[in-house]
Each structure stands twice: as C-alpha cells, then as structure tokens.
Amino acid sequence: MQLDTLVLGFGLMDWNRLKQSSKDLPQLRGTGLKNYTLEEVRNHKSLHDCWIVLRGVVYNVSAYLAYHPGGSRIIEKFAGEECTEEFDKYHQWVNIEGLVGVLKVGFIAKK
C-alpha cells in the first residue's frame, strides 16, 4: 500500500494536532531511546514499521507517512536506511526535530 496523495485531514496542521495529542507516536512503549546499529534499523522497512536515520538519529516515521506532502513512496524508498544526504537535497531548510522529533526512537550506535 502506498499513500501517494494528500487526503483531507492529513495536512501539516493535522499532523501538528496529532503530535500534541498522542503520547507514544514512535511506539516506544515506555522503553526510552536506545542505540541501534544500521543492521537493526534495516529490519524496519514497511509502511507500518518504517524507520529512517537522519544525522545519526533514528526515527520511526510510520505515523507520519500519511502526512508527508510528497506522499509516502519517497520515504518508503529510504525505509531502514540512513537518508540524510537525500533529505538535505530537498529539505535542508526543514527543522527535522520540530517536524518529527516526537518520532525519535534512538541513535545510531558509534563503532
């Protein structure tokens, strides 16, 4: 399933309301932030379990997919991967922490 078009109720303002009203969007279930290897992140690459890495931070963006103005397909393409370079090509002006910071699940472990 791909979410390629915006639907009424899935705009930026709707996303902001959801962020404020939901307690566990990243689905941490009270476990707190962890360190992950890229191999562990690669296990999360489906629509309902979609993790990405930006600047060493791991986000579970599953809840955000329907709200992405460009559709979910582009995010799915990078699911389970480090995508900072690609993100910066199109979104270097975006405050990622402000947009999806609540979806943070952890960090890439230092070797």
Where residue 72 sits, what CATH number does that domain have?
A: 3.10.120.10
Is-contact 33 102, C-beta < 8 A?
no
Task: List, in sequence order, every residue forming a beta bridge with 71; answer none if it has no partner.
Answer: none
4 within some domain = no
67 within some domain = yes
- The CA–CA distances, whole Å, from 10 to 46, 66, 77, 102 equal 20, 7, 21, 17
3 within some domain = no
78 within some domain = yes
Q: How far apart are CA 109 and CA 57, in angstroms?
A: 10
pLDDT digits (tens, 9 = 90+) for 22-31: 989 988 888 8
What's the pLDDT at 4?
A: 55
Q: Which two tokens stand for residue 24?
A: 């566990």
What's the pLDDT at 1?
A: 45
The domain in which residue 51 lies consists of 12-108
pLDDT digits (tens, 9 = 90+) for 89-103: 999 999 999 999 999
pTM of the model: 0.90
The total domain count for the chain is 1
Is-contact 36 43, C-beta < 8 A?
no
6 within some domain = no
80 within some domain = yes
20 within some domain = yes
pLDDT digits (tens, 9 = 90+) for 4-44: 556 778 899 999 999 999 989 988 888 899 999 999 999 99
